[in-house]
Amino acid sequence: MSFVGPAALCRLDDALLARIRRGEGLPRLVASAIVTIVFGAGAYGVAFGIWRGSKQAVFSALKLPTLLLAIAASTIGLGAMLAILLRSKLAVRQTVVCILLSLAVTAAVLGAAAPASILLVESAPLPDPSIVGLAITDPRAQPSLEVARGLLVLHVAVVAFAGMAGVIRLRALLTRLGLGPRVARRVLVAWMATQFFCGAELSWVMRPFFGRPHLPETLSCDDLLKGSFFEELATAARSAFGPFAPLLLVASVLVVAGVLAGALRERSERVTIAIGEGGLLVDGGPRTVAWQAIETITLSGRDVRLVLRADESFVRDVLTVACDDEEGAVGLARRLDEERSRVREGPFRTSAR
């Protein structure tokens, strides 16, 4: 199996997908993703640090790929477990490939944007070398700091765009690997949440990427291990909101937890079903629910609820069929029950599934 270039990774070629589905040549695929991350993110690292100086550009070129690989390394185990628990049916190796591919797409986009970013950065006024060592509040440092803030907004926008591209491609990858839309969404949310949580801290630990104009170029800052991203967030909230900060933080945490719980919870989804010979065709197939798999049929107004037999992970699916009116629901339920009973009673019918 050959090396896969960044273009093929971004396109998610059919051959690539078939390879992941079959689980063939995955180590090469992993290597391809890592190479893309190293060069793509490395290129943007140069764009990140070049304004501050050449040394900072080298440091950032090393640190940005390291950041992405560290995020992958620290979340892959949990990601694989969550994917299985969320019923994705992905093997651990496939999970590793999926996570690395999404980061590789992000890195490829970053690498592609690097030349344009470098051009824009190089067009900006250079930092004043005489302000190194001055306080951040010193008036002489303000012009360079203003330029730095503007460039930082540019970099944040590019990184956000690249991150979104990675997430969108990951969703497409999961869907094309055969995960249902609901499962794909839940897996995606779980992975993004863990990667954001871990990535925020790792990027905090590996700072600075951009480099402040009034400070010397450096690989890492002095207060590297004296706090965390979220503690800094709490400190910033305290200084901004005073006594209301704890309340605000608790409310924010609750909102985030609620949003996550809502996103991870399986919601009802409009699908169509058709009655086939061997069972129910959900959304016109390919999913077929065999008659024997229907454990109970219940009526609730215009809805017909079908509780399916628990699978090997002990999870029961519930299909709620919304009919036009109550009579329709009764008719559908009776029809389903009749079909199910017929299969139970006649052994020759069970072979039809």
104 and 35 in contact (C-beta within 8 Å)? Answer: no
What's the N-to-C CA distance of the chain in angstroms? 38
8 A C-beta contact, residue 59 and residue 49: yes
CA 294 to chain CA centroid, nearest Å: 34
In angstroms, give the least distance from the CB of 122 to another protein.
Answer: 34
Enumerate residues 206-265 that contact another protein by CB under 8 A: 224-228, 230-231
Segment interacting with another protein (CB under 8 A) among 58-66, 71-79, 135-143, 158-166: 71-79
In the complex, the smallest distance separating the C-beta of residue 139 from another protein, rounded to whole angstroms, is: 34
Least separation, in Å, of the C-beta of 315 and another protein? Answer: 6
Q: Dig out the tokens for 259 from the structure.
A: 């949003």
Name the residue nearer to another protein (CB basis): 149 or 270: 270
Smaller CB separation from another protein, 66 or 74: 74
CB closer to another protein out of 140 and 309: 309
Minimum CB separation of residue 138 from another protein in Å reads 30
Interface residues for another protein in 81-120 (CB under 8 A)? 81-82, 84-85, 87
HSE at residue 343, side-chain half, CA atoms within 13 A, is: 20
- Within residues 254-283, the interface with another protein by CB under 8 A covers 266-275, 282
Burial class (CB in 10 A: 0-12, 13-18, 19+), 340: buried
Per CB under 8 A, 137 contacts another protein: no
CB nearer to another protein: give 128 or 337: 337
* Residue recorded with tokens 């950032």: 60
**Measured from the CB of residue 117, what is the shortest distance to another protein in angstroms?**
28
Q: What are phi and psi of 321, to 5 degrees?
A: -100, 115
Closer Cβ to another protein, 97 or 202, answer by number: 202
Of 58 and 307, nearer to another protein (C-beta) is 307
Under rule CB under 8 A, residue 351 binds another protein: no
Which residue from 100, 111, 93 is spatially nearest to 33, judged by alpha carbons? Answer: 100
Minimum CB distance to another protein, residue 282 (Å): 7
| Closest CB to another protein among residues 48, 291 | 291
Out of 74, 175, 218, 288, which residue is the one contacting another protein (CB under 8 A)? 74
Contact 96, 28 (CB under 8 A): no
Q: Name the residue among 27, 37, 180 with its Cα closest to residue 96.
A: 27
Asked if 293 touches another protein (CB under 8 A), the answer is: yes
Residues 187, 86: Cα–Cα separation, whole Å = 7
**Of positions 291, 347, 348, 349, contacts another protein by CB under 8 A:** 291
- Cβ nearer to another protein, comparing 135 with 261: 261
Least distance CB 70 / another protein (angstroms):
8
In which element (H, E) is residue 281 found? Answer: strand 279-282
Q: Say if CB 233 and CB 240 are below 8 A apart.
A: no
Each residue 308-327 as x (binds another protein by CB under 8 A) or -, in order, gives -xxxxxxxxxxxxxxxx--x
Element spanning 300, H or E: strand 294-300
Are 41 and 107 a contacting pair, CB within 8 Å?
Answer: yes
- What is the C-alpha to C-alpha distance for residues 62 and 218, in angstroms, rounded to an integer? 12
- Taking CB under 8 A as the criterion, which residues in 146-205 touch another protein? 182, 194, 197-198, 201-202, 204-205
Nearer to another protein, 124 or 255 (CB): 255
